[in-house]
Structure 1
Amino acid sequence: MVPSVGFSALAQAAPLLTNLLLTPYLIGRLGLDRFGVWSLILVFLATLTVLDGGVGASLARFHAYHAARGDRDGTGRLVIGSLALFLCFGALVTVGCVLLAPTATAALDVPPRLREEAHRLLMALGPLLTLALASNSAVALLQAGGRFRALAAVSGGSCLVYAVAVTTLIEEGADLPLLAVLTAGRYLLVTVGGLAAGARQIRIRRPLLPTRAERREFGRYALRMQLSGFTVFLNGEIDALVVAGLLPVRYVGIYAAGYQAAMGLRSLPLFAIPPVLTRITHVYARHGLPGAVGEFHALQARWLPAALTYGVVTTAVVSVAVQVWLGPALALSGAVAAVLLAGYSVQVAFTGVRTCFVRAIGRPGYETRYSWAATVVNLALTVPFALLWGVVGVVLATAVGVAAGSLYFVALCRRAGLRRGDGRLPRRWLPATALAAALAVLGDLLVLELGWHGVLPLLLAGLPVLAGLAAATALLGPELAPRRVPVKQGGPP
């Protein structure tokens, strides 16, 4: 599975690295106010992408299940049905934007000189949404078929074309509509390239759309995934909307930079999740629940200590790293990133493989319940924390909520057949993690003292982090050797 994880990492790292490289460039070219408007549009796009009825989040599981059984006809019906649904959703959003765009731009604290650009961007939101969802469908198809090499090529190629186009065509001034067109082009490249690369997994026969039984099964699963997805909005994207409602639009850009840093670092260990989901789903399809449980415990024994070490180290250095990246003037972005990443680190460590397990065995309701528990805690804390600590209080409520919900998920998953004792850490975990964090923080502080800012100094700041993680790996390596739990064989229930 190591090659699959590597190519999955390349595929998911490409958009993150592209944003990393382009953010300082766009802030310099567009200005902080205009960049704040663009960030707000991306928040709207991310929110609507999550609120797609759970379809996008469900595709990887059902594509993988069809692939495990060699059901190319079922995959073809699912591809056509999902694309048709996304087209309808995008059209509906377009109509809504036509009706509501003037009201929305007037309600937000957008400078008068930027309102016309903001209005035009809102008009492009529907087509952007359709293409974004379609690209996610193509990505899910390749993930489910284990086509991670092709996925890396498609993702990397589209990001390279996008980055070249942005740096070539975006000039100082009113270029936000052009930026939206270039973004749409990147989504289109991923969609076309992904469907072409995954064509051998698809067979198109009548009926073209999923049957009633398939729609019923998919719909039940997707509904529960949508309930979970809605909490992603409440625990993440709503923070930006709160900032937009309380502060001038430039603070959305400040928040977006910190959020981007936290989400980028959070995403790195999650590069392994698509292959893990595919693997557990295939095991479940062939050997039933006992096989899936054994696979989970074998993977979790290595995932938990590695993910927690990574989370502690990156949380310790992210505030300094953001200042190296964007300069001391955006130190508030660094504080936002550190607070969010602390909560996300707990979430990734305790829910990463568990999420794959409950999705693979067809019980996403457990994920839904923990997501809503996290949301309730978050919403209860947002107002008092915001009154006490402002913008940092808003993200602190999110961090506490996702951490509390993640621990609740651990308890829930025991009802699905997971035994106790999978949360134990190796004996050397604490000293190894402390050493790694100390090396990373000291190294990044030295880089910050140099007074250099931008992408290249940020890459330099990454070297102490890598050195610290390498030291922790050397200490923990013998204790993280693969362990497999023998299980009885059986078919899916």
Structure 2
Amino acid sequence: MTILDRPRARFASLGRLVGGTGTDLFAGVGYSAIAQAAPLVVNVALTPYLIRHLGLDRFGVWSLILVLLFTLTSLDGGVSASLARFYAFHQAHGDRAGTGRLVVGSLALFAALGLLLSGLCVLLAPSAFLLHISPQLRGETVEVLRFLGPLVTLALVTNSATSLLQANARFRGLAGVTLCSCAVYAAGVVLVIGHGGSLTALAAVTALRFVVLLVGGFVLGARHVVIRRPLLPPSRERRDFGGYALRMQVSGLTVFLNGEIDAFVIAALLPIRYVGIYAAGLQAASAVRSLPLYAFPPILTRMTTGFAQHGLPGAVREFHLLQPRWLGAVLAYGAVSTAAVIFAVPVWLGPGLRLSGVVAATLLVGYTVHVALTGMRTCLVRAIGRPGLETRYSWLATVVNSALTVPLALMFGVVGVVAATAIGLVAGSLYFVVLCGRVAELHRQRIPLRWILAIALAVLVAVAGELLVAGTGWHGMAPLTLAGLPVVAGLVVAAIVAVPRRDSR
């Protein structure tokens, strides 16, 4: 049973759980955003360095290793995704011993999973020859694949530590530990790769990052934990946790099938360098997409409060207040970013990665429609306790994506793979609109002509600015920062044109 299933009086604890006052809440959201954004920023900064020193083929192998790492850690039965909720439940009741049992239980489970995965990785690593990898890279690929099991184990155990901090509203501590781990990782990458280190050495640096997160997370969270016998959670909690985790895993499978599986399809059908091309484009698109998502925590809290106080009408009222602003802002931001990213990626990585810019733009088309249509509806269904609707539309997106991936890949290569993902996201988003309309009477938001004109003008401004930046011939992180200015200018133009003046109302 989730928090939303409990009596409405329990919602009074929500504000205390996430930080009490509104100021504390938004400070927590800010620190949480730092913790989420720091690894993304570091990866963006390091990608040109890695491509330059590794070469595109070795970078493709490393990108595939990272996809495998994310896949194996996300397919853990939904345990990692469920820990924060159950840690928070114990924190709300002041049950530090219950938290301790959950810590011990999660670590034991992750250790067992890690041992199993380590054995499988050792056995299956030689099958790397099935991929489109040059003979010169096969030995190194097999070696780093054997390292994957321990790396996955560390990542899983680290999830327990970071979930503990999140559940106890230790967002500032989480941000600090994350920044430290990212600094260690960045320094290690520069040191190892700069001296001609292997991919296995790069995996060791990644493991060091997880160790910093793990140790720092549990040190900061230690005051919320008491270890007492019995060491494991009682059978009732294990059953509740298992049922909740299973539902989270079902939803998580759609994330894997709609995104990470693309890398495996590319590796199976195309030379390994195209995995690197895809990974660079995906990284750029994900970075752009993540910015609007940082607004979710306060919006979800606002809708949840409206539901707690006034039932479904209260949540729907908040939706109608927020959706028009959200739709216009996300569509403008997405359109401008999609047009700009085609030029910005080659500025970031060099002219040899122009195809990564096309990959990023194709993905951003789907991401923009997805976030615009589902953002506020996602907050609504979570606030009213109907998260199963998310699973339904996600699976439709997965089915469409899976049906189109191979045919489009054979016709258009790596761009066809991501086009299938974008089409699936659009189809799923439209279905989610229909599903939410059955739950509550939601007004359909039409896009005013003024918005369309504002967005079109903003795109023209952004493209003109990006052409000027691209014409300099500069490449790297500094020019990438410069390439962000036309995006800002386009959004300012969109805001000026789209927002009516006071005297014209």
- Per the TM superposition, whether the score is higher than 0.5 is yes
Partners of 1:126 and 1:280 lie apart in 2 by 41
Q: Check the 8 A contact 2:161/2:218 in 1, yes or no.
A: yes
- What is the DSSP-based 3-state SS (H/G/I as helix, E as strand, rest coil) of the residue aligned with 1:170? helix
Q: Is there any run of 5+ residues in structure 2 with no aligned partner, and where? A: 1-24
CA RMSD of aligned residues (A): 2.8
Query: Counterpart of 1:437 in structure 2: which amino acid?
Result: V
Aligned to 1:441: 463
Secondary structure of the equivalent of 1:252? helix
CA contact (8 A) 1:339 1:396 kept: yes
**Is residue 271 of structure 1 aligned with residue 271 of structure 2?**
no
What's the counterpart of residue 443 of structure 2? 421
Letter of the structure 2 residue corresponding to residue 122 of structure 1: L
- Relative to structure 2, which stretch is displaced further, 156-165 or 204-213? 204-213
2:259 partner letter = G
Question: How far does the alpha carbon of each residue in 1:434-480 deviate from its partner, in whole angstroms, 9 at most, with x for none?
Answer: 3332222211111001111111111110111122234444566789x
Q: Which stretch of structure 1 is more off in the superposition, 15-24 or 246-255?
A: 246-255
CA distance in 1, matches of 2:109, 2:371: 31
Corresponding position of 2:12: none
2:198 counterpart of 1:185: no
Q: Residues 83-482 of structure 1: matches in 2 within 5 Å?
A: 83-103=107-127, 105-171=128-194, 173-274=196-297, 276=299, 300=323, 302-359=325-382, 362-415=385-438, 417-421=439-443, 423=445, 428-473=450-495
Q: Counterpart in 2 of 1:57?
A: 81
Q: 1:451 to 1:81 in 2, by over 3 A?
A: same
Letter of the aligned partner of 2:217 in structure 1?
A: G
Find the residue that maps to 2:413 and give its secondary structure: helix
Partner SS for 2:169: coil
Per the alignment, do residues 290 and 107 of structure 1 end up closer, same or farther by CA in structure 2, a change over 3 Å counting?
Answer: same
**1:7: how far off?**
2.1
Alignment of 1:28 onto 2:52: yes
What's the offset of the Cα at 1:169?
2.7
- For structure 1, the 5+ residue unaligned runs are 480-493
Structure 1 residue 245: Cα displacement: 0.9
Structure 1 position 83, deviation (Å) = 2.6
Instruction: Say whether 1:17 aligns with 2:9.
Output: no
Answer yes or no: is the 8 Å Cα contact 2:78–2:252 preserved in 1.
yes
For 1:94 and 1:321, locate their aligned partners in 2 and report how far apart those are by CA, in whole Å: 39
Partner of 1:490: none
| Contact 2:320/2:443, CA 8 A, preserved across alignment | no
Indicate how the Cα distance of structure 1 residues 145 and 467 shifts in structure 2: closer, same or farther if over 3 A, else same.
farther
Alpha carbons 2:265, 2:406 under 8 Å: kept: no
CA separation of 1:326 and 1:446: change in aligned 2, threshold 3 A: same
- Give identity over the alignment, percent: 64
Alignment partners' CA distance in 1, 2:158 and 2:308: 26
Which whole-Å CA distance do the structure 1 matches of 2:96 and 2:369 have between them?
A: 38
Structure 1 residue 391: deviation in Å? Answer: 1.8
Per the alignment, residue 491 of structure 1 pairs with none
Compared CA separation, residues 360 and 374, structure 1 to 2 (3 A):
same
Give, in angstroms, the shift of residue 413 of structure 1.
3.2
SS in 2 for 1:453: coil
User: 2:57·2:272 contact (CA, 8 Å) conserved in 1?
Assistant: yes
Say which of 81, 98, 102 aligns to 1:78.
Answer: 102
Q: Distance in 1 between matches of 2:46 and 2:449?
A: 42
Give the C-alpha shift of residue 16 in structure 1. Answer: 1.0
Could you report, residue by residue, the CA deviation over 1:55-93 in whole angstroms, capped at 9, with x for unpaired residues? 222233444454455554444433333232222221111
Question: Aligned in 2, Cα 1:361/1:61: closer, same or farther, shift over 3 Å?
Answer: farther
> Do the aligned partners of 2:339 and 2:459 also contact (CA within 8 Å) in 1?
yes
* 8 Å contact kept, 2:285–2:364: yes
Judged with a 3 Å threshold, the aligned counterparts in structure 2 of structure 1 residues 429 and 376 are, in CA distance, closer, same or farther, namely: same
